[in-house]
Amino acid sequence: MTKAGFVALIGEPNAGKSTLTNRMVGAKVSIVTHKVQTTRTRIRGVAIEGDSQIVFVDTPGLFKPRRRLDRAMVAAAWGGAADADVIVLLIEAHRGVTEGVERILVELENIATGRRVALAINKIDRVQAEALLALSQKMNDAFAFERTFMISAERGHGVDDLRQWLAGELPDGPWLYPEDQIADLPMRMIAAEMTREKLTLRLHQELPYQLTVETESWQERKDGSARIDQIIYVARDGHKGIILGNKGETIKAVSKAAREELEEFLGRKVHLFCQVKVREKWLEEAERYSEMGLDFKDGNA
């Protein structure tokens, strides 16, 4: 009998949700950087474990929203959790029970009814065993978790146990996706996310969340290669200069890194062309939110 269902990974920004999704799926479907709030949309990665198909909903990190984009991201995260069959709360071993984790626990009480909720303590290699046990006890006193897993998403420790448990908890039913499909994001969006990841890594603190990337066109060529045209939207003229860099070197380096990763991902040649455009109000445009898979209305205060 086959099983299939949705698993929502929730937690604070940078808790390791994207790394865990990629580790579970065995492919890079979710962008990973050391910056907080890099995941904007509910990227789903699909993993097969025995007769079970696990569809991971990799939600944006839960934090205190300040702007429209923040509010839409947080709404998307809770929406992903509310729709899931199983919820996994991911926390960082070395940070313990932060204010943010306490807020998530309160909200969990409201949506957890009828769902299995597990706790995954990540980055276990950063603390001593006694501290881990104390943290596990504290979290389980605060919320009735079904199971607690000690993991290192980056190194893979404990991840197989978690995946096997999840596979057993899903409802009976036919698989939701073809066996060879690892993510339900359209390739255009995955390509845009890869470019955005490279920009985030390259620009460091200069411009983290004031930009978005959209794949404007995707042309399949007769020789088997693909031509991909992307637009990087920024909110100010000054930002455009930062992205272009001296004599265009920044945008060239970003395009090259994104193109190489896309070629590896697709297994074929890619011609990537990136343009930078200033749109002062992009953070207030419904269309930009749709491109990111977010609901503009959820950003209302």
User: Strands 148-150 and 86-92: what pairing?
Assistant: unpaired
Helix axis angle, 99-111 to 68-82, nearest 10°: 50
Q: Is residue 255 part of a domain?
A: yes
Q: Is the dihedral of CA 204, 209, 211, 214 positive or negative?
A: positive
Picking from 143, 169, 195, the residue at the C-terminal end of a domain is 169
Q: Are residues 218 and 161 in the same domain?
A: no
Sign of the Cα torsion 151, 157, 159, 162 reads negative
Q: Where are the alpha helices (DSSP H) in the chain?
A: 17-25, 68-82, 99-111, 129-142, 159-169, 187-203, 237-244, 249-266, 286-291
Rounded Cα gap, residues 206 and 68, in angstroms: 21
Maximal CA-CA distance, the chain: 61
172 DSSP β-pair partners: 3
Write down the pLDDT at residue 34. Answer: 42
- State whether 21 and 104 are in the same domain: yes
Is residue 209 within 8 A of residue 37, CB to CB? The reply is yes
pTM of the model: 0.61
**pLDDT given for residue 67 in this prediction:** 62
Cβ distance 22 to 56 under 8 Å?
Answer: no
Q: According to the model, what pLDDT value does residue 3 have?
A: 94
The upper half-sphere exposure of residue 244, i.e. CA atoms within 13 Å in the direction of its Cβ, equals 13
Residue 177, domain member (yes or no):
no
The full 3-state SS of 25-56, as one line of letters, equals HCCCCCCCCCCCCCCCCCEEEEEEECCEEEEE
Query: In this structure, what CATH number is given to the domain that contains residue 32?
Result: 3.40.50.300
Q: Mind listing the pLDDT tens digit of every residue in the chain (301 residues)? A: 899 988 888 888 788 887 888 888 776 554 444 444 444 445 567 888 889 988 887 665 555 656 665 566 666 655 666 678 898 999 999 999 998 889 888 888 877 777 889 999 999 999 999 999 999 999 999 999 999 999 999 999 999 999 999 999 999 999 877 776 555 556 777 888 889 888 888 886 555 457 888 888 888 888 989 899 999 988 888 888 888 888 989 999 999 999 998 888 878 899 999 999 888 776 676 766 665 566 656 555 4
- Provide the residue count of the chain: 301
| Structure token digits, residue 244 | 């272009």
Give me the pLDDT at residue 110, please: 77
Placement of tokens 């006890």 in the chain: 137
Evaluate whether residue 176 is within a structural domain.
no
Question: What distance in Å separates the CA atoms of residue 286 and residue 277, rounded to the nearest whole number?
Answer: 17
Are 143 and 213 found together in one domain?
Answer: no
Give the pLDDT score at 138.
Answer: 95
* 194 and 154 in a common domain: no
128 in helix, strand or coil? Answer: coil
**Domain match, 95 and 27 both:** yes
Going by their DSSP bridges, the two strands 43-49 and 52-58 should be labelled as antiparallel
Q: Give the pLDDT score at 299.
A: 55
- The pair of structure tokens assigned to 269 is 């040649």
> Tokens in use for 225?
């290669």
Last residue of a domain, one of 169, 204, 236: 169
Same domain? For 14 and 162 the reply is: yes
CATH number, residue 283: 3.30.300.20
Show the domain range for 234: 187-299
Nearest to 89 by CA among 35, 23, 16, 39: 16
Q: Per the structure, how many domains does the chain have? A: 2
Among 111, 141, 169, which residue terminates a domain?
Answer: 169
